[in-house]
Amino acid sequence: MSGARGAGHRVSGATFSPATTYRIDTTPDVIELNGVRVVVTGATTGLGAAMAAALAEAGAQVMVTGRDQARAEEPASGLGSSALPCQLDVRDERSVAACVARACDAWGGVDMLVNNAGIGMRTVNPRFMTEPQPFWEVTPPGFRDVVETKLVGCFLMAREVVPLMLRGGGGRIVNISMNEQTMVRRGFVPYGPAGAGVEAMSRAMAADLAGSSVTVNILLPGGRGTLTGMVPTIPRRRSAPDCWTRP
């Protein structure tokens, strides 16, 4: 994990609802989120799947979402009986509303939203690391798909859950972003600008929610800890230590 930026309030132990206090223990190697109800977008592979698994291991109830129901069911099945798979297209407000409604039906509410869904540069230019593509060669459909998934998806999901959180006593929004170098890197349109939009919107969301019981934070995860389409596959040298694989 490369870092995190607080767009609003600092994340800490908190009361998510008037009736129940959830203890968040952040001592080394111990994180407890018992009973916390979390929706993770783009949770079928890569960073999203890793975060969903870590949240479930910490005791959270996790909704694993993806555009395909079958792909969402596979990782959810390994996270215990409290995990819920749900088909979700974050670009579509009707799909967003249906998914959040399912979480409310199952759990009675949502305490945390992790806006992770995104599409990497590989969908726009498979050779983006070795042969950067200028922005004028990016197709409009390719541009829209990346921006609508990353930026519009964050907006639609937060728009749907924040009123529930405010009525329920509080909650957490965590928007996954990227470092500033990636935002403005040559050949990274539309991926970089979409991330810049997420950061700007997160700050605006935090300002709108200032003084409330709902916080918005930006998380910048490292890309080498999981298998993800967001970064290219780079062959490892045999002499290098295997620092990316846990035993």
Residue positions counted in the chain: 247
User: Which residue ranges make up each domain of the chain?
Assistant: 35-220
Query: Which candidate in 16, 22, 107, 191 is catalytic?
Result: 191
What was the pLDDT predicted at 29?
Answer: 60
- Higher pLDDT among residues 242 and 209, named by residue: 209
- Higher pLDDT among residues 54 and 7, named by residue: 54
Average pLDDT, the chain: 84
**For 180-197, what is the mean pLDDT?**
96
Give backbone dihedrals phi and psi of 217, rounded to 5 degrees, phi first: -135, 155
Tokens 């555009």 label which residue? 67
Radius of gyration of the chain (CA): 18
**For 226-231, what is the mean pLDDT?**
51
Among 8-17, 108-117, 119-128, 212-221, which is the least confidently predicted range? 8-17
In the predicted structure, residue 176 carries a pLDDT above the cut 90: yes
In the chain the beta strands, taken as DSSP E runs, fall at 3-5, 37-40, 61-66, 84-87, 112-115, 171-176, 214-220
| pTM assigned to the model | 0.81
| DSSP helix/strand/coil, 220 | strand
What was the pLDDT predicted at 136?
Answer: 97
What was the pLDDT predicted at 5?
Answer: 57
Q: Using alpha carbons only, what angle is made at residue 218 by residues 31 and 182, rounded to the nearest 5 degrees?
A: 120
In the predicted structure, residue 11 carries a pLDDT above the cut 90: no
**Helix residue ranges, H only, the chain:** 46-57, 69-77, 93-107, 140-147, 153-168, 180-183, 191-208
Query: For 28-33, which contacts have Cβ atoms below 8 Å and span 24 or more sequence positions?
Result: 31/58, 32/58, 32/59, 33/58, 33/59, 33/60
**For 145-170, what is the mean pLDDT?**
97
| DSSP helix/strand/coil, 233 | coil
Q: Using alpha carbons only, what angle is made at residue 109 by residues 104 and 111, rounded to the nearest 5 degrees?
A: 135
**For 218-226, what is the mean pLDDT?**
72
Query: In the annotation, is 191 catalytic?
Result: yes
What was the pLDDT predicted at 217?
Answer: 97
H or E, element range at 144? helix 140-147
* pLDDT tens-digit series, residues 133-143: 999 999 999 99
Q: Are strands 214-220 and 3-5 parallel, antiparallel or unpaired?
A: antiparallel
Tokens 């859950």 label which residue? 161
In the predicted structure, residue 40 carries a pLDDT above the cut 80: yes
What was the pLDDT predicted at 80?
Answer: 87
Distance of alpha carbon 17 from alpha carbon 4, whole angstroms: 25
In the predicted structure, residue 230 carries a pLDDT above the cut 90: no
In the predicted structure, residue 237 carries a pLDDT above the cut 90: no
**Residue (of 79, 81, 44, 95) closest to 65 by Cα position:** 44
What was the pLDDT predicted at 3?
Answer: 54
- Is 35-220 in CATH node 3.40.50.720? yes
